[in-house]
Structure 1
Amino acid sequence: MVEKKRRPEAEAEASGVEPRTELLNGGGSGGGPRDDEPKKRRKGGGDGSEGGGKSGSIIDNAQSYELATRVGYQVVASPSKIQEMEKPMEPYHEVFLSFRGSDTHRDITDYLYHSLVDAGIRAYRDDEELRVGKDIGPELLQAIKQSKISIPIFSKQYAASKWCLMELVQMVECKEKWGQEIMPIFYDVEPSEVRKQTRTYGEAIQSHVNKQLYTNETIQNWKAALNKVGKLKGWELKERGKGEFTKEIVQKLLIELKKNYLAVTNCLVEMDDQVDQIMEKIGEQTTGTKIVGIYGMGGVGKTTLATILYNKLLADFDNCCFLSNIRETKIVSLQNQLISDVLRKECPSIKSINEGITEIKNRLSSKKVLLLLDDVDQNTQLEALVGTGECWFSRGSKVIITTRDKELLKVVDFQHELTEMDFGHSLQLFSRHAFGRDSPPAEYVSLSQKAVEICGHLPLALEIIGSLLHRNDINKWKNVLKKLETIPNEKVKNKLNISFEALETQEQEIFLDVCCFFVGFNVRIVTYMWDSCEFFPECSLEVLKQRSLIKIAKGNQLWVHDQLRDLGRVIVRERAREKQSRVWDHEEAIDVLETEETAENLKVLNLTDCKNLLRTPNFSAHQKLEQLILEGCRELVQVDRSIGELKHLVLLNLKYCGKLHTLPDEMEELEALTELLVDHTSITNIPEWKGMEKLETLGAAYCRLLSECNLAGCSTSLSYLNFTSTGISELPFGNFGSLIELNLCWTKIRELPNSIETMKNLRVLRLSHSILEKLPSALGMLEELEEIEAGDCQFLYGEIPTEIRRLSFLKILRLTGTGISNIPKLPESMTELYLTGNRRMRCPDLSNLLNLRVLVLEVKYQNPFDLAPSLNWIGELRKLESLWLGGDGLVTLPSNFNLLAKLRKLKLVLNSLGCLPWLPQNLSYFHFVGQQLMSINLSYLGKLLELKDDGCEQLIKIQDLEHLKNLQRLDLANLPLLVKLPDLTGLKKLWSLAIVGCPKLVEVRGHLESLKELYLEKCESLAKLLDPLTFKHIENLDISRCPKLKKIQGLENSENLIDLCLWGLPLLDKLLDLTNNKELEHLDLYDCPCLVEIRGRLESLKGLDIFKCRSLRKFSDPSSFKKLQYSSIEDCEKLEEILKSDEYRYLKKVRVGGYHRHGYVRRGSRRRDIELEW
């Protein structure tokens, strides 16, 4: 039960001889041999572990596995590793005691140690006096990691021992990484002595410094560990007796060790960001009772995230309960389990829900409880377990709820939506189930990527499909994936189908419509159609959103997860063929049209992108047709006159039928039609269709030949009218009293008539890029107006009518690039305002716009004698989230600028500004352009994610850049005086770095462990790049016009490199061996005159561009270019001579020659400017 580890005598520390220590492998996949590697027998053991079972890997044991689940990861292991991880490894400790033997060995340590043993607690007692060497050995390191709780016993001489300090640093690391508990004992010192390193602790640290045996970093780590642990709540012995003291400690430890940490599904992929986000709301630093609700579609990982949170919170609770599978469990049973788990004893069985509610209130109201309710699907469950008013438990309780239905979370303090993973984490999770490792083998990369796309980044699907394909050959993979492209996996389907079956009939119909036809459609447009079918779409769409079955994406577009879309289509297909009501595949649709027995039941016909359709068929036999979708039938020239017989047709979609010039007159007989889309067609006029009295949506955008339009017959019903980029020169005649949105962008309309005041329901008016000359005062009569967009109307001059202040619902006003000179007082309802590009415009006073969230403002002098405009009001806009501020006249910013606490995005284009003010500290994105700025220091912006510095012609240095620990993207452009940058190693999260137009920059220093994109251009003095290890994970590398750069060290280790582009590097004489670049798909070389050879097997190469590399003689292995799809080799005389040989057969499509290629477009560049969305 207890192990006291004693080490043999060895050379004294003073001898300077270091014992050999084995490197511990902390790999996330367990550290054992991979499935594709032969298992190697290690010294001392025959099972792949060292010493006959002692750990050779810090996560290859049950206890470390348990601890790992508390970090913020989903644990992933191949099925073959699960049994191995379930076996507890010996020695296995619950408590680790750290002490200075000369101080406490025969006193409190022995007493406590034996008390723990007597209580059945497995303890590890280390004797630091018996150690040798400079480092903690692997056994001791493992003992600390395996323990659930570490107890440092702080005595007067504790800090005098380097061993004790090393142990303490390891304890703190385990606490921060894995949530391990530290419970300090202050034996004969005060906590403040430890925390502040005063008295004997200060003397001990100084003694270590004086010995000059340890690096400054080591000393700082020791001091930081003392400071952190000294702040923790622990025990102070003082005048108390050892018996009473140890009894208290043992009782507390027994309570802690009895807690059951929940096992997390075997999948470890990082979820740190989401865990941290929720812990900020409900963690130990929060007071009061907190309820958090996690919602998302089935299989997205809600239970995993909730379990991680539960484990991280568990240390602060004596009373805890996890109620799983609530959907399928009776409420009374759940109530019984809740009471029994919290009280830790069997209780009399509850007979009814009301009795259970009474018992929970009476017996648990004084308890501080941690409760996890998993998979809640009814409000009655919450009412019976926690109450929907005030929580029934004591102050400080935490409740975590997971559900698919957002509607159930109205009572929670914080809601968190969990969406599917990004591609990188999805591939990692899939690989661990399919291969038992973090990434797929080279021959499986493309198939694995395809599998991830089929799974739609959904954790449940990734786990199931990955396990299904485990240990199968490539042919089996191809067959399975081909099947999954059309038919979802049965287990995944059944899991997702639960949500569908819980819907009402109308909700199911709308969901199936979206899956089959309307992914990517504007909600407003399709809503009109469902309205005509009396489906009450607003309510149904809200239900679908709350249950995470659909989302409303940017641009008000409908979005459905691929797995759910496929599920919906399978449901439609499973219905009997003769009753099939929806057809979305055009080949299948044509077959249905030719089958009489199916024609009468057809309600939805989708012939999207049918390439051979010249004329529509006769529709006489399709009387029940409600939706006809012919979008993208680019050869269609005629719509059959029989379309007038479709009395139930509510949607006609003819978008992108570019050869369609006319519409049949019989269309006026479509009395049920609510939505007509003719965008991107060649129609020239829209006649007066008197019979279309229900038409609500007319889309005619980009009908460039359309010049006439008569809407008198349907104007009263129209809600949405889009004439973007047409030849319309005046507003059609009619009564548009129902119109909600009017789009006249890029039209020839010069003037809006005063009759526009009759559009009493208009909410959105879009006029951008039109030749409009004036805004009418009648705008002030449109009381429902919420958005006016008139950007880039170059002929729009004068003033905004003062009547605009009447628009009490106005939220968005865009007036960029106009001639407007005066801005009147705007309504306080405004949330977004865009005013740029006009030298005549006076600086407005916006002090009343306290609800403003987005402001884009360019302030300029009207003449050189103007005073600088005042912006003192800007600090009062406390809700501002995004700010773009520009102007030549601004030399300072208001002193209250830093009060904008909610500001996240900031762009300053201020060429007269000499120094930056103190910026708001919550900024995530900062882009600055300023010619006069000489130095900047942004080290206090700890939350900054993206930084762009452009056109600062006087900038000499950027101070403390390395302190921006959360920075992810850095873009430095056009800084002619910048000579050097600080070491960037501290930017642990930086994944994109772009440096352009910095001619005096000599080197870029540091090791960027997360870097994926590097773009360097026009850095004429640059001779040295980042640490070679930086290139290990890089995916896109683009270097051009850096003439002093001779070599790129580390490129040979770039295992993830996809795009490599090297331009204008005259001193580059060779590329290092690219054999390890198995993912390289595109290689672009231009004007590298000294380059002689390209070495390596480029098995994934798809594109090859080489130009003006006149010394290039050969590829070392052209036979590996089997996946090459295109290539262009020009002005490479020595290479062109050998291209005709058989070994270059894979370059058959190569374009060769010594001529200049006109209009050559450089394709290698993958640089993406940091531009904020405004």
Structure 2
Amino acid sequence: MEKPMEPQYEVFLSFRGPDTRSDITDILYNGLIDAGIRAYRDNEQLRVGEEIGPELLQAIKQSKISIPIFSKGYAASKWCLMELVQMVECKEKGGQKIMPIFYDVEPSEVRNQIAIYGEGIQSHINKQQYTDETIQNWKAALKKVGELKGWELKERGKGEFTKEVVQKLLIELKKNYLAVSNCLVEMDDQVDQIMEKIGEQTTETKIIGIHGMGGVGKSTLATIVYNKLLADFDGCCFLSNVRDTKIVSLQNQLISNVLKNKCLSIANISEGITEIKERLFSKKVIIVIDDVDHKTQLDALVGVGERWFGGGSKVIITTRDKELLKGAHFQLELTKMDFQHSLILFSRHALRRDYPPQEYASLSKKALEICGGLPLALEIIGSLLYGKDRKKWETTLKKLETIPNGKVKSKLNISFEALESQEKEIFLDICCFFVGYDVRIAIHMWDSCKFSPEYSLEVLKQRSLIKIVEGNRLWVHDQLRDLGRDIIRERANFKPKKQSRVWDHEEAIDVLEIKEGRENVEAISLKFDHQFQDFMEMEEPVSLSNLRFLQVDCVDSDENNGKHFPSTDWAKRNPIMLPSLRWLSWHNFPVFFKFAARSFKKLVILDLSRSQITDEWEGWNHLKMAKNLKVLNLTGCKNLHRTPDFSTHENLEQLILGRCTELVQVDRSIGTRISELPFGNFGSLVELKFYRANIQELPNSIGTMKNLRVLTIGFSFLVNLPSALGMLEKLEEFNACECRNLSGQIPSEIGELSFLRILTLTSTRISNIPKLPESMTELLLTRNVQMRCPDLSNLLNLRVLSLGLKYQSPSHPAQSLNWIGGLSKLEFLLLCCHDLVTLPSDFNLLLKLRWLELFTHNLECLPKLPQNLSYFHFIGRRLTEKSINLSYLEKLSELKVCGCEQLIEIQGLEPLKNLQTLDLEYLPSLVKLPDLTSLKKLWRLRITVCPKLVEVRGKLESLEFLGLIGCESLKQLPDPSSFKHMEELFIYGCWKLGEIQGLEVSENLKVLCVDDLPLLEKLPDLTNAKELKDIELRRCPRLVEIRGRLKSVVSLFIDGCGSLQKFSDPSSFKKLEDLEIKDCERLEEIMESDEYRDLKKVRRPFQGRTPREPISWSEEDFASDRLRNTKANLRFGSRISRFHAQIERRRMQRLDALWPDAIASPNGSKGL
């Protein structure tokens, strides 16, 4: 055997250029380079003459591994075949490896030269240019390499495939650097968090834990951090797939990788522990333990809590079970990927680009909805769709809506199979029915069924299968929800009648109508429509013996709901037996409907919201059988004048009587009159909600409700609060929002409530707040016209603070907030205080603060802000600074600056790489902005009433929305390339703007509104704007022509364009439905010609419109209570015009990245 040459390259790629150069070859080549592997990709320019050139020959000989990529055209290329012969020769003489990739052919085709490979060889023979020996050498090489073990791409995703190839090559080449997908979307924020906790060159050994559901990117994040840190350590080891590997094998691998040699075979775990301690004690190592599912693995590999390794060592653990990370110095939870990053990741796998073309935009959005921000699903489904036409995309996505992708499902199913039976039952319940529901309600049913819900829910949370988000709402990732539902279908062999849970209405009706299998049904959800009515009128008895959850939604939500159905006596005409029923939810319950009493015996939850039941409803008597009733929800029962008899419901914990506008009397079992509200017999109540009721005071008897945790009495006529509130020892939440008559001081006894977490007193006349308990986490005090500055210095656990303070008279000093810098856990802050002159010097130390809204008239100087802000909205009318610099707010995603009358310049926008929306409003002195080219993520830019601003500079490649309002001196728009992805453009009152460039490339443009541009003479050709629906042109007296074929325009409004005299193609308005024209003399003249007869058909008399305007904020909005009730309300409570609902929805999608735990929006919340 010849001595091999010293390798210059490590891997040689052989491929047919037209087949794979811009596809798998490019992906693989970049993946190899990223992993630190020296790869050679041949260049067609080196192929001259009839023989392999010296440079190409040297590259093959010097490489350690050759990878021929067999595509359909490989055998038809003489160059590929010559390279293959040389590879075989190097293998036989120099011991080099050949690792083939079978791209779109079978190994047998290569090995036996059949099908397309047989045709390729025959084509060379037919040319009669090559000797028989050459042909035989080619065939022999194909046979030998075709027999080697290699990779078959087939239907696999190229990203996943590349990762596997690179990993194998790293092992073969003994590389430490781990491969990361070339389609990877940046994870800078998470990487920065971990790197910050690890610290630079510290001697402290640290354990970092990363947890989250399967497929969310834990391993990828660990790999990135591992690669970044490798150079700083004596030894390294990445233990992957720990879940499925024996501990002894892992111990052996750990020692072997760190010491860079094979250690003695370890006999058992105890011996392995001893070996690790003794051999690695002095080594500074970095170790990743990936996909841990049991504590014994950690105990045997790194000894959490003990010192097994040298100083400065770092251990990174990834797991689905948060409970396993108790000994970690820092824990990071990975949640779903935000909209923008999801789109990029999906597009890279499905389309090999960062964003989809217009024809695939809607389908890509649908795919993202299916994937639910799960990176694993985005990668797999994206790769599945790669190279497919639009029709194939449609059929594939339609299938995926009901049937989860097998690879995604198998990955997620690991967590489900590890659950105990009771945990599985609760998880399946949530997937089928209870996403968005209040967990405190559902827990009663599971407890009644002996499912041990407290423990089971904790396990589900630890395993990252569910979350309990703001408002105690249950949340499950869309992919996990689909997995749960698919498990139900599989268990029933895809026969609805055998399913234990039925959530589809049509299937539910089928199940009810078929006698066979009814005993399988445990939970069902359906609509009260004519189909259900027909079933209810069947004569024969029906038994659903195991049904524990029944949800019925009436299709008619009108107040007269149910009256169009004939009266049905359930007990007599169709006596359905529901002996196991625990939860009945029937909104808009028809008053004519009657129940069999025995069906209520085990009932624990009854929800009859918005129903027409009255005091005389006979169901009240049946309800007395429900001795274990825990929850009764009568929200919106407007015909109810008095409550039922509660004397038999000693276990009742939650009574909800919201919007019972006619309710005037509560049964004597708890009191006599709702205006007096005696609570003496209601000691078990946990949650009480009275809102929009004629209540003027709370009686002292409320203090007897020792178990009360939540008290909501908003929108009432309360005048004051009783001191007896201090007796509610377990109270956690108190909400008296919009009680506009409530005045004076809050009782000091509230300060003794050691469990109080949330206090909401917005829009009241409260003037003073006493010292509050240290347990407080959320305090909402905006729009209180009498509020004086409280001392909140003791609220060290406060996360959310909304504070609105009154104007002070000259006799009172300015407001003091010296305590605010000490609230180190604060994450949300809305501060509206017009007397505030300065903020404390330690304000910037609020390092957890991510959301700041600061509204003040008299603040003179903007202090240094907390550096981790993601959202900043500032109004400072009398700010004396001429320039502000925000360059240090590198994590900022949204920025709004308003009303700073003396501000000339905003500096430091260039470093804000994460900025997505920028709003500048009423800055009358603003002269210039920096170049915005570096803001690669900026998709929304709105500049309003900045009359001195001359130009907006930069190439804004992600811009989708641009609003320029009242910028009278503006002469220059952003670079025309900024309009490529533009969807909505509003330009009003920019008097010096003479042209709008860039719209000719705006394929996504949907709305174009131009108003009061006296110098504008022409618009660009709009032919390429194939999504353009709405055009408004006002007060553009010099505009002569509207250019382009406007096939998609639906609405066209033109007012005050006196020079406008033609459309370049009047016949192109195929979808126009609404045309209004006013004060356009020349256009009026030509409208009479035959060329415009089709336009005349859709023209209607001028009615006038209010000019469309982007989302605008008034001072009243700034002071409004957008923090009321939930964090989500804070995030999304802006005033939205109907033309910009879409923009706000896009904003919400992006804000999920900032607040991943606030997933259940107010509008999407469910429950009681």
2:548 aligned residue: 626
Shift of 1:957: 4.1
Question: 1:307 and 1:869 mapped to 2: Cα distance?
Answer: 50
Shift of 1:509: 0.9
The yes-or-no answer on 1:568 pairing with 2:484 is yes
Summarize deviations over 1:276-311 as a string: whole Å, max 9, x none: 332222364454222222222223333222222222
2:578 aligned residue: 646
Residues 1:460 and 1:978: Cα distance change in structure 2 (over 3 Å): closer
2:600 aligned residue: 670
Shift of 1:1105: 4.4
Decide whether the 8 Å contact of 2:543 with 2:576 is kept in 1: no
Decide whether the 8 Å contact of 1:1112 with 1:1135 is kept in 2: no
Question: 1:1125 and 1:590 mapped to 2: Cα distance?
Answer: 43
Question: 1:383 and 1:325 mapped to 2: Cα distance?
Answer: 17
Summarize deviations over 1:1067-1119 as a string: whole Å, max 9, x none: 433331334445656555555555454444667x4754434375666665688
Question: 2:995 and 2:339 mapped to 1: Cα distance?
Answer: 32
Question: 1:661 and 1:1087 mapped to 2: Cα distance?
Answer: 58
Residues 1:46 and 1:597: Cα distance change in structure 2 (over 3 Å): closer
2:640 aligned residue: 706
2:523 aligned residue: 604
Decide whether the 8 Å contact of 1:698 with 1:722 is kept in 2: yes
Aligned letter for 1:511? F
The yes-or-no answer on 1:330 pairing with 2:264 is no
Aligned letter for 1:801? P
Question: 1:323 and 1:336 mapped to 2: Cα distance?
Answer: 11
The yes-or-no answer on 1:393 pairing with 2:393 is no
Question: 1:56 and 1:673 mapped to 2: Cα distance?
Answer: 64
Decide whether the 8 Å contact of 2:775 with 2:797 is kept in 1: yes
Percent identical pairs in the alignment equals 58
The yes-or-no answer on 1:277 pairing with 2:199 is no
Question: 2:419 and 2:586 mapped to 1: Cα distance?
Answer: 32
Decide whether the 8 Å contact of 1:1083 with 1:1164 is kept in 2: no
Shift of 1:794: 0.8
Shift of 1:998: 2.4
The yes-or-no answer on 1:1044 pairing with 2:966 is no
Find 1:1021's aligned residue among 969, 972, 985. Answer: 969
Decide whether the 8 Å contact of 1:744 with 1:768 is kept in 2: yes
1:773 aligned residue: 719
Residues 1:1144 and 1:548: Cα distance change in structure 2 (over 3 Å): farther
Decide whether the 8 Å contact of 1:780 with 1:803 is kept in 2: yes
Residues 1:1080 and 1:333: Cα distance change in structure 2 (over 3 Å): farther
Find 1:1072's aligned residue among 1013, 1020, 1035. Answer: 1020
Find 1:524's aligned residue among 440, 443, 450. Answer: 440
Find 2:660's aligned residue among 722, 726, 733. Answer: 726
Summarize deviations over 1:740-796 as a string: whole Å, max 9, x none: 221112222222222211211111111221111221111011011122111221111
1:582 aligned residue: 501
Aligned letter for 2:322? K
Aligned letter for 2:579? K
Question: 1:289 and 1:429 mapped to 2: Cα distance?
Answer: 34
Find 1:65's aligned residue among 31, 54, 66. Answer: 31
The yes-or-no answer on 1:946 pairing with 2:906 is no
The yes-or-no answer on 1:740 pairing with 2:686 is yes
Shift of 1:505: 0.7
Q: Count residues with an aligned counterpart.
A: 954
Shift of 1:589: 0.9
The yes-or-no answer on 1:803 pairing with 2:749 is yes
Aligned letter for 2:686? I
Question: 1:917 and 1:455 mapped to 2: Cα distance?
Answer: 42
Residues 1:297 and 1:901: Cα distance change in structure 2 (over 3 Å): closer
1:927 aligned residue: 873
Summarize deviations over 1:386-418 as a string: whole Å, max 9, x none: 123325221222222222222222222222222
Residues 1:324 and 1:1130: Cα distance change in structure 2 (over 3 Å): same
Residues 750-765 of structure 1 correspond to what in structure 2 (within 5 A)?
750-765=696-711
Decide whether the 8 Å contact of 2:712 with 2:735 is kept in 1: yes
Summarize deviations over 1:1050-1077 as a string: whole Å, max 9, x none: 2333455454443444443333133444
Shift of 1:1025: 1.7
Decide whether the 8 Å contact of 1:955 with 1:975 is kept in 2: yes
Residues 198-237 of structure 1 correspond to what in structure 2 (within 5 A)?
none
Question: 2:1033 and 2:568 mapped to 1: Cα distance?
Answer: 52
Decide whether the 8 Å contact of 1:693 with 1:713 is kept in 2: no
Residues 1:1098 and 1:303: Cα distance change in structure 2 (over 3 Å): farther
Residues 254-403 of structure 1 correspond to what in structure 2 (within 5 A)?
259-282=175-198, 284-403=200-319
The yes-or-no answer on 1:423 pairing with 2:339 is yes
The yes-or-no answer on 1:683 pairing with 2:613 is yes
TM-score of the two chains, using structure 1 as the length reference: 0.74
The yes-or-no answer on 1:660 pairing with 2:590 is yes
Question: 2:850 and 2:1009 mapped to 1: Cα distance?
Answer: 34
Summarize deviations over 1:778-824 as a string: whole Å, max 9, x none: 10110111221112211112322222222122222222221223322
Residues 1:1115 and 1:648: Cα distance change in structure 2 (over 3 Å): farther
Aligned letter for 2:524? L
1:1156 aligned residue: 1103
Residues 7-22 of structure 1 correspond to what in structure 2 (within 5 A)?
none
Question: 1:633 and 1:667 mapped to 2: Cα distance?
Answer: 25
SS in 2 for 1:514: helix
SS in 2 for 1:845: coil
Residues 1:600 and 1:636: Cα distance change in structure 2 (over 3 Å): farther
Decide whether the 8 Å contact of 2:1010 with 2:1033 is kept in 1: yes
Question: 2:1084 and 2:516 mapped to 1: Cα distance?
Answer: 66
1:834 aligned residue: 780
Question: 1:396 and 1:933 mapped to 2: Cα distance?
Answer: 48
Shift of 1:1138: 6.8
1:19 aligned residue: none
Aligned letter for 2:250? L
Summarize deviations over 1:478-523 as a string: whole Å, max 9, x none: 3322222222223332222222111111111111111111122121
Residues 1:372 and 1:586: Cα distance change in structure 2 (over 3 Å): same
1:88 aligned residue: 40
SS in 1 for 2:517: helix
SS in 2 for 1:597: coil
SS in 1 for 2:854: strand
Decide whether the 8 Å contact of 2:34 with 2:179 is kept in 1: no
Which of 1 and 2 has higher RCO (CA within 8 Å, sep 6+)? Answer: 2
Question: 2:382 and 2:305 mapped to 1: Cα distance?
Answer: 43
1:908 aligned residue: 854
Decide whether the 8 Å contact of 1:1045 with 1:1067 is kept in 2: yes
Structure 1 stretch displaced more, 290-299 or 526-535: 290-299
Aligned letter for 2:484? G
Shift of 1:649: 0.9
SS in 1 for 2:693: coil
Question: 1:277 and 1:1127 mapped to 2: Cα distance?
Answer: 53
Residues 1:976 and 1:711: Cα distance change in structure 2 (over 3 Å): farther
Aligned letter for 2:1101? G
Find 2:946's aligned residue among 957, 980, 998. Answer: 998
Where in structure 1 are there 5+ consecutive unaligned residues? 5-31, 33-44, 71-84, 92-119, 123-254
Summarize deviations over 1:980-1018 as a string: whole Å, max 9, x none: 434444545544322122233333233444444322223
Aligned letter for 2:1099? V
